[in-house]
Structure formats: structure tokens, C-alpha cells
Chain A
Amino acid sequence: MTGDRRRTWLGLAFVSPWLLGVAAFTAYPVAASLYYSFCDYDVLSKPVWVGLLNYRDMASDSVFWKSVGNTLIFNLMALPLGLVASLALALLLNQPVRARGVFRAIYYLPSLVPAVASAMIWLWILNGRLGLLNTALGAVGVHHPPQWLGDPAWTKPSLAVMSMWGCGNTVVIYLAALQGVPRSLLEAAMIDGASAWDRLIHVTLPAISPVIYFNLIIGIIGGLQVFVSAFVMFGGPGPDRSVLFYAVYLYENAFEYRQMGYACAMAWMLCLLILALTWLASRSSRRLVYYQGE
């Protein structure tokens, strides 16, 4: 009995830094955030209870819905693009090629670049008049190339393509997964006369489907919170509010308009949105994800 109690104290002692942290920096803020979301709160004065007002305001706030639409449209472009690109690169790297390490390093490196620095580089490359892309297009005879960052129709595709530059992280994850695909399965399929395409569709992809699923979920969670690239490159909502993403509008409400209560309500809606989308993703992919040993 005393030994049992001693062991409990010992365990608690080891995890005490986390207990302290989770109480101060997670549990309290989560509870406070929920409370503030029902309040009028500007951080300077005490929160005033307003009930569901923030949530009702949200429903009728056209800018809020614009930010939801922007975020969803951006992710519909960026997620599939990133998924296909990183999977394709990983499949290529998984071939018996020379200098695989060099290629892997080249593809991985951009994902390490600080988001602010990456935003600076792409601001310069996509600059409408002087940027590398448009001057190069001009040199091959395209005289009125799009204003990538000035035309509301092109801002989201530009950011989506830009985000692909950082897909190296996912490439490395896929590559590791591909190298774990049982060799025996591939060889068996080969003996049975399956073509390279058949082996990809019926052996390789099912074998790594849990990893694809994992990356999809991580991608949804991160994609709904996209902030730095838009905020740094456009300094805010961008032309015609075309890059006013959810997190950007949330930040503006909290720290520019000082509507902290509204920002908290938005954060909780974001939580629900993430839950809903991950639930949808897991529902629709349940049949497609194959777990070994099941």
C-alpha cells in the first residue's frame, strides 16, 4: 500500500512539469476561451456576459463567411496539389536511382525555410511587373501575364502553388512509408503478372494508405489555420479580401479590433470545423484505408 502510494507520487513528480503546464497553459485557457466566447471582451476591461451574441453576429457577418469560403477554396486547391505532388515525388525517389540522398535533400530543404523568408522570396518572384515569373513570361511572348498577387482571382492559386514548395516534409514521410511496403507483396504481384501501374494501385497505395490518411488529417488541421503566408505577403485581407483566411480574420478581430470575445467564438467554430472535416475525411476514407493485421 505504501509502496503503491510512493510509486504514484514518484510518477506525479516526473510528469509534474507537464501537469503544471497543462493547467496553466491549456486547461485554464480552454475554459477561459469558452467563457469569453459568450462575452464582450477587449482584454482591457472585464468581460461582460452577452450570451450567444458573438455566435449570432458570426452568422450574419458577411466577412466571416467570406473568410470561411476563402479558407475552404484555398484548401481545395492546396491539399490535393500537395498530396499528389509529394506522393509523386516520393514514388520517384523510391525508384532505384542514383544520388537519392541529394534529390531528397533538395526536395526537403524548402520545407525548412522560415515562413516569413519564404513569403519574401515568393513576393519577389510573383511581383507583377518585375518578378521572375512575369519577366520570364514576357520574354517568351506573354505580354499581359496575370498579376499573381494583385488579381483576386489569382491570389489563392498563387499561395497554393507556393505552399507546394514546402511539401518536402511530406515527401520524406511518404518515402519512409514506401520503403516499409513489404517486398514480398510486390514480388508476388510481379510473379502474377501485375503491371507497374497495377502494383501501384493494388499493392503500394493500399499498403501506405494509413500514412496518406494521416497526412490528409494533418493537412486539413494545418490548412484551416493557414496564416503566415497570407498575413506577411498581403499584410491583411489582400485584394478584394481574397486571402482573408479564417485565421487571419480571427487574428484581426483579436488584436486589431480588440474584439477578443468574438475571436474566441471564432476559435471555437474553427474547432468544430476541424472536427467536422476530419470526421468527414475519416468517414469517406474508412473503406480506403487498409490497416495491416486487421
Chain B
Amino acid sequence: MRGPAKFLTYALLLGGAAVFILPFAWMLSTALKPLDQTLAQPPEWLARRYDARLGGRLQEVRPGALVTEPSLWARMRGAAQPVVLAAASVRGGAWQPAAGPAMPVEVLKTIPASASEPWREISDLSGGQKDVVPASSVSSHISPRWENFPRAIRAMRRFPRYLANTLVLCVLNVVGTVLSSALVAYGFARLEWRWRDPLFGLLLATMMIPFPVVMVPLFALFRWLGWIGTLRPLWVGSFCANAFNVFLLRQFFRTIPGDLSEAARIDGCGEFRIFWQIILPLCQPALVVVALFTFMGTWNDFLGPLIYLTDERDFTLALGLRAMQTTGSGGSEWNYMMAASTLVILPVVALFFVAQRSFIEGIALTGTKA
């Protein structure tokens, strides 16, 4: 590539990368902020802590509005909290609101505000005590609120249960899918038998059936079995092989030379032993891909748990995250909501970095060979 083309390529790639990272960055940024900073306008990226002298001692404060016009910090009669008053409206110590009766005020501070040195309203963390001080006397430093994570876990109420349920389902689905799909794929790939090809055609055909078609009868079936409200509908089926994974593994199994099995057979090795001790170890990369995608599919699944799980104690993380948003205070406490989302995403991201190669190869395989 020559100069301008090269520059354009990198500019587009970097710009695109920034856009793709932005939602992650904003999630993490929000997750680490105190609640009132999530409402800041314009948005702030880094969680800050503000300290100032309030009530005679240096403490963490909540910063309020900036005061840039000459004003008074005054307490109205009968009011508990002082407020900022535009200086122009005070005549002879009595506040003259634009409409309504005049109200006597007690002037606490005059604010000789100018553009070069604004003042800032501050309050303690509960908002009970207020003051106004020169903005420069409010010190701030970056301070991520890591405690938001344990708090988000508490806000999600049954987080440990959700996590345990999700992990149980992941393990069962991975074990079930890998074992059964490999077994079935072996039958289709490496054995010659009578009804093999028509049955394999049927297997391919089942991949075309959209889930909504079988959704209602499956629900009725599981209800008849008394499985609604248990985890069973979400894992039992995985032990019956998944058509797509069978297809994928079959493609892999067929690449291994037939002589290998033939030699083992001559040595008196049984078919199951050939499968278990010769073919499976050779196809480990493909098995890893199937395991990874099954794990991801289970971890991310929403519709299945939504349909079959009725008791909150059986919820998975995906369902729990939504429950937090719709029933708890999560709908407004965005810092906790984002902290919880981070926790749900983190294992997936970690898994990707551990097994990046298998992921990329697996995706490319499913896309180009299928």
C-alpha cells in the first residue's frame, strides 16, 4: 500500500475500533462512578472524588452548581437550608422575589463572583449540610468506586444463585453436547451402514426448523413432565446431540484417514474404543470449538430461561440481570446496572482471551465450510 491509501486504512481501522470499544468503555466508566456523577452533564469519563471544607472540617463532598454571577448565600426565614440568591433581587436586606411577598433573609456570605474565579455549591454526601465556597478550594481526584461491584451483587439479590445456576447449566450443556454430538458424528462420519445417508439428510433438515415452531409443544411437553420451574428443560436436550455440532464434527472426523481405524480393527479394537481412544484425541481442536460455542450459547441464552424458569431462585445471570433492571432500583441506578453488566460480560471476555485462537478458527470454520 502506498502513503495515502495506507493512511486511510489505518484511520478507518482506528476509528472503527474506537467506536467498537466505546460502549465497553462507557459501561466500565459508569460502573465505577458514584450515582450522582452518572447524571453529570456533559458526561464525565473518570470517577472523581471531591473534597472541601464543610462545617469546619475537610470531608468528601458532593459538588453542586457553579455560581458565576455576583450573588448572595443566604438563608430565608424559616428555611433550613441556605440558598444562592441573585444579588440584584435583594434590597435593604429583604429579598424581593419576582412575584409574591417579600421575604426577609439572613445573608451568610456575599459571593463576589467573577468569570475568573467561580464559586461552587457543595453539600455533604447525604445532602443535609450545604455551603458555597470558591471553586478552587474544592479539590478533586480520580477515585474509581470499586465497591460498586459488591454493591451491585447485593442489589441483584440472588447473584450467587444465578451464577451457580448458570455454571451448572454451562457444565451440563458442554459435557452433554460434546459427548453426544461426537458420538453421533462418529456414526455418520466413520461407519458404513444402511440408513446412514437418509438419516443424515434428516439431520440437516432439522437445522432449518425455527425455534418458535417447536416452542409451544416443547413447553407443553416439559409441563406434562413436571419440568417447568426446574433447570431440566435447559440441559436435558443437550445430551441428545445438536444437529449443527454433529455436522461440524462430522466434517472434521472425515478428514482422518480411514486406514487408522482399519489398522485398529485388525488389531481387534472395538468400534467404541476406536472412537474414544483414537478419533477423539485427534479431533481435540474441533471438540474445543464445540465446547466453547456451547458454553457461550448457554451463558448468553435468554429466551430458554425466560420461558422455562418461573422461580427467581432458578434464574440464570441473563435473567437475573433483566430482573434487576425491571424490578429493582436498577432502572435508575445506572452505576450498579453497569457494574452488574460488567460482571456478566467479564467471564466471556476472559474466555475469549484464553481461547482466542479456537474462537477465530471456529467462526471461520462454521462460516466457510458450512
Contacts and interface: CB of A to CB of B under 8 A. Distances in A.
Contacts, number: 270
A8 B370 contact: no
B56 interface: no
Contacts of B43: 132, 135-136, 139
A93 B215 contact: no
B216 A270 contact: no
B272 to A, nearest CB: 8
Contacts of A36: 216-217
Interface string B177-212: 000100110111001111110010011001001111
Interface string A152-182: 0000000000000100111011111100100
Contacts of A7: 191-194
A276 interface: no
B38 interface: yes
Q: What class of interface size applies to chain B in its complex with A?
A: 35 or more
A30 B303 contact: no
B109 interface: no
Nearest to A36: B216
B321 interface: yes
A108 B355 CA distance: 13
Interface string B337-370: 1101100110011001100100110011011101
A124 B206 contact: no
Interface stretch (A60-68, A110-118, A198-206): A110-118
B13 to A, nearest CB: 5
B360 A8 contact: no
B321 A106 contact: no
B364 A14 contact: no
Counting chain A CB atoms within 10 Å of each CB, the highest count among B209, B360, B363 belongs to: B363
Interface stretch (A15-23, A70-78, A143-151, A286-294): A15-23
B219 A97 contact: no
Contact of B367 (A8, A105, A214): A214
A255 interface: yes
Contacts of A221: 210
B16 interface: yes
Contacts of A216: none
B300 interface: yes
A26 B188 contact: no
A116 B364 contact: no
18 contacts: A11-B191, A14-B186, A14-B275, A15-B184, A15-B188, A17-B183, A24-B221, A97-B9, A108-B352, A109-B20, A116-B319, A117-B341, A118-B23, A132-B26, A135-B42, A228-B302, A251-B303, A267-B210
Interface of A: 4, 7-8, 10-15, 17-22, 24-26, 28-30, 32-33, 36, 41, 43, 89, 92-93, 95-97, 103-110, 112-118, 120-125, 130, 132, 135-136, 138-139, 165, 168-170, 172-177, 180, 196, 211, 214-215, 221, 224-225, 227-228, 232, 235, 247, 250-251, 254-255, 260, 263-264, 266-268, 270-271, 274
